[in-house]
Amino acid sequence: MIVAGVGWAGERHVRAVQALEAAGSNVHVAALVDVDEGHLRRKGRQYEIAAAYLDLAEALESHPEADCLVLATPHRAHRPGAELAAAAGCHVLVEKPIALTIEDADAIIAACEEAGVILMVAESVRYGPRMSAVRRVLEAGRIGRPLSGCINLIPRGHKSFEYPGRRAWLARPQQGGSGIWMLNGIHVMSAARMVFGDVVRIDARTVRSEQFRSEVEATVVALLDFETRAVATVTVSAELHGYERFSEMVVFGSRGTLRLNWRRGETLLVCSEEGPPERMEFGPEEEGGTPVAFLREWEEFLDAARTGREPDTSGRRERNSLAAVLAGYRSIEQKSPVDL
């Protein structure tokens, strides 16, 4: 396979693939692609990958044996990268969000479907130990049908929204980045959809203090209506102080409640009619220095590619997460609810 974009996410994909290869999986990183030649060469030496390219088309042409492409490039480069990969017959694992517009997302989906290749969005939160534990509770029917809830993501608590070094583009819309509602809110939306179903209506608002310096949104608060008739609130903030990356999910069901805290060392609390409250452990965050979320999403991607089945976070499914986030932006602008 080929990894395009050897930054924060791209490196974790390389490490996950190499860990799976070392464990016996028939998978191998054949080449790296990045626009920063010096960085590319350093990472090639670090991961012992000799083939390195500044151009994705050249990499695909030079490695016809590659049957998978990882797109960990800036968001606006996802569509051309995915279209090149599909034309070359490569399955595509694209970092979230799938795109910044529905038009681009639909073009990526169409290109992959026409080529008969798998398209999966690398929505790592869905494959981490915490959301995996939530999924097990829901599938076991421990709390019944999810009726309402809240998700709060307060990861930073700063007076601006920015990233250091090579990741600076993430918070710069003019360079293909976005604000926190898109960048981190897409995680929340995917998690909410996993629990409650697809969003059919959103009413979103922004708040900020006079001290917040960035032009992008500081905090977004939204009320979500789902196809299942469930209702939930969401808060995603770059400014509010969470202290130790405060993030939580509470789901109220027809027969019980679950409460998840994303802090290290916390547990999943399940309260149900079946018995006394239970605290469930998540399991390790890493295996051999590699994030578990990346290992599990790679196992999902490889199985989908080998069997031809639709992955859990397929492009078509995660298009719905993008649509909900974009509807949130429209709701903010219009100051009124938006139906999807």
pLDDT tens, position by position, 296-326: 999 999 999 999 999 999 999 999 999 999 9
Instruction: Report the candidate in 113, 4, 115, 24 with the shortest Cα–Cα distance to residue 302.
Output: 24
pLDDT for the residue numbered 252: 98
pLDDT average, residue stretch 184-208 = 97
User: What pLDDT score does 242 carry?
Assistant: 60
The sign of the dihedral angle between the CA atoms of 22, 26, 28, 30 is: positive
| One-letter amino acid for residue 17 of the chain | V
Neighbours of 279 (CB within 10 A): 10
Report the predicted TM-score, pTM, of the whole model to 2 decimal places.
0.95
What distance in Å separates the CA atoms of residue 73 and residue 70, rounded to the nearest whole number? 9
- The pLDDT confidence band at residue 265, using thresholds 50, 70 and 90, is low
pLDDT of residue 245: 61
Average pLDDT over the chain, rounded to an integer = 94
Angle formed by the axes of helices 292-307 and 129-139, to 10°? 60
Instruction: Answer for the pair 14, 23: CB distance below 8 angstroms, yes or no.
Output: no
Which range is least confidently modeled, 88-92, 100-104, 282-286?
282-286
pLDDT, mean of residues 119-143: 95
Q: What is the pLDDT of residues 205-237, one digit of tens each?
A: 999 999 999 889 999 999 999 999 999 999 999
Q: What percent of the chain has pLDDT over 90?
A: 84
- Reported as a pLDDT band with limits 50, 70 and 90, residue 278 is very high
